Amino acid sequence: MIRMRKTILLLCVAAWLPLFSALRLSFAQQDKLERMVISYAGITGGRGPLWIAKELKLFEKHGLDARLVQITAGTTSINALIAGDVDMAMTTSSAAVAAALRDAPLSIIATGGSPPYKLVAHPTVNSAAQLKGKVVGSSQLASGADFAIRKLLPKMGLTPGKDVTVLPTGLSESHKRILLIFQGRIDATLATIENVFQVELSGQKLNVLADLKEMGVHVSGTDMLTTQQFLKNQPQKVKAFLRAYIEAVWTGIQNREISDRIYRKYLKIDNSKLLEAMHKSYFIAGNVPLKPYPQLESVQSDIEFLTTANPGLKAKKATEIVDTTLLREIENEGFYTQLRR
């Protein structure tokens, strides 16, 4: 009887050992996770890969304990980055360029792509000519949307400050600026495809006056940047983040169900046609690129715009601000080939 009890006890221990081993391995993996704090700006469809990486625990898969914090203003996120409060900032290239031209030790290491921006106006405004004397609402002064508007208007034959008033509204979310149009406080603003679609679903109407991409206006919706010191001292953390982000983009491209689930949760969108349009716009059309190399033309455009408006700033080349070393390493190591298997 005693021998039988010992045998049963040994069998129970043997049965539980794999579970104990798995738990111990899980705790060990958690102990090995490297903490990294990442700030991001406004909440748009372009944030899809970031949310996918969070929800599918891709950061943990690549060894990171990633803490995501929202900081809407580009200047504020740059200041937090320089102060060491965050390790990486996802904000517009214009904010990064403005800081770099003032000799802030920052590097743009990747991009989240170009937003599918359109200039939309009140239904009574049917053309660029009818914008004369009107008010175009931007987000914040010197923000990405503000820069984009000031680059776009001259291509439409309008001079900011003379023909059109550009008004910083303090609202980084374009759907909130659209409300100002219907309240009669502004006449036009930049919006994304989902904003236009949602307005149509509500039974209202906006006139689309221009598409930034079609007008040749180079603008980055989100660039990823860090300090040169962090890049030098913690390259493995940065590479881990980039791998997780790239895998999230790949997942979004391949799996619309996951894309829809993310947008339902974070953007509160349930309309199937809108979800389909967003998946096509951001993931399939490449507005969020699988290979997130910084857009040199957008960075250079910001440099030229800023130095023209502020002659005291020292001009630089885009390549002096951009560092693609880690992205090239990831590609050369065969990471994209592994994803496609």
Polymer length in residues for the chain: 341
Mean pLDDT over the full length of the chain: 86
Q: 334: helix, coil or strand?
A: coil
CATH number of 118-211: 3.40.190.10
C-alpha dist (Å) from residue 35 to 24, 39, 50, 270: 20, 13, 16, 34
DSSP 258-274: HHHHHHHHHH----HHH
- How sure is the predictor about 9, in pLDDT bands with cuts at 50, 70 and 90? very low
The pLDDT, as a whole number, for residue 142 is: 66
Sheet order of strands, 64-70 included:
64-70, 34-40, 88-91, 222-227, 106-113
pLDDT at 285 over 90: no
Domains 30-114+220-340 and 118-211 share a fold: yes
pLDDT at 86 over 80: yes
Structure tokens at 311: 């002659």
pLDDT in tens, 67-81: 999 987 777 889 999
- How sure is the predictor about 12, in pLDDT bands with cuts at 50, 70 and 90? very low
The pLDDT, as a whole number, for residue 175 is: 83
Please state which of the ranges 34-38, 99-103, 311-315 shows the lowest mean pLDDT: 311-315
How far apart, in whole angstroms, are the C-alpha atoms of residue 261 and residue 265? Answer: 6
Mean pLDDT of 142-163: 87
Mean pLDDT of 292-303: 88
Nearest 5°: phi and psi at 315?
-70, 145
The pLDDT, as a whole number, for residue 62 is: 97
Q: 246: helix, coil or strand?
A: helix
Q: Please report, for the chain, the start and end positions of each structural domain, with discontinuous segments joined by +.
A: 30-114+220-340, 118-211
Structure tokens at 288: 């969020």
How far apart, in whole angstroms, are the C-alpha atoms of residue 172 and residue 185? Answer: 16
Mean pLDDT of 94-99: 85
- How sure is the predictor about 140, in pLDDT bands with cuts at 50, 70 and 90? confident
Mean pLDDT of 196-207: 86
pLDDT in tens, 42-51: 788 889 999 9
The pLDDT, as a whole number, for residue 15 is: 47
CATH number of 30-114+220-340: 3.40.190.10
Instruction: Please report, rounded to a whole number, the percentage of residues in the chain having pLDDT higher than 70.
Output: 91
pTM: 0.81
